[in-house]
Amino acid sequence: MGKFVMKQTATGFKFDLKAGNGETIATSEVYTTDTACKNGIESVKKCCEGEVEDQTVENFEVKKHPKFEVYTDKAGEYRFRLKARNGEIIAVSEGYKAKPSCLNGIESVKKNAPEAETVVE
């Protein structure tokens, strides 16, 4: 079972969504307050049913928010970002060498986030 791990940083609060094996699946931005961070977690739980918009293919189909966007970064690695209903980015992934691994990361968010507990470190 996955969990959201919330922690304080030098400039605010952030969370990581971790899979049952402890691997980080997605990370948030830094929020100014713990309440805002908790709201971000709730937003991920609500929006993780979104469709996948694969921006790595030519003439990709634009999906409605909430959605996962798959893209390649400057290093050529595959990443995803989860966008809320208002278009704000609420979670991002690490870089993956292969697109199937990135898509597995999205499936892991969909599987783990809805029932994940929140722990504060």
Burial class (CB in 10 A: 0-12, 13-18, 19+), 109: buried
- Residue type, position 1, single letter: M
What's 89's domain CATH number?
2.30.29.80
Number of domains in the chain: 1
CA gap 70, 73 in Å, rounded: 10
Least Cα distance to 23 among 89, 90, 104, 97 occurs for 104
pLDDT tens digits for range 32-52: 999 999 999 999 999 999 999
- pTM, to two decimals: 0.94
Domain span at 92: 3-120
Given a cut of 90, whether residue 1 has pLDDT beyond it is no
Given a cut of 90, whether residue 84 has pLDDT beyond it is yes
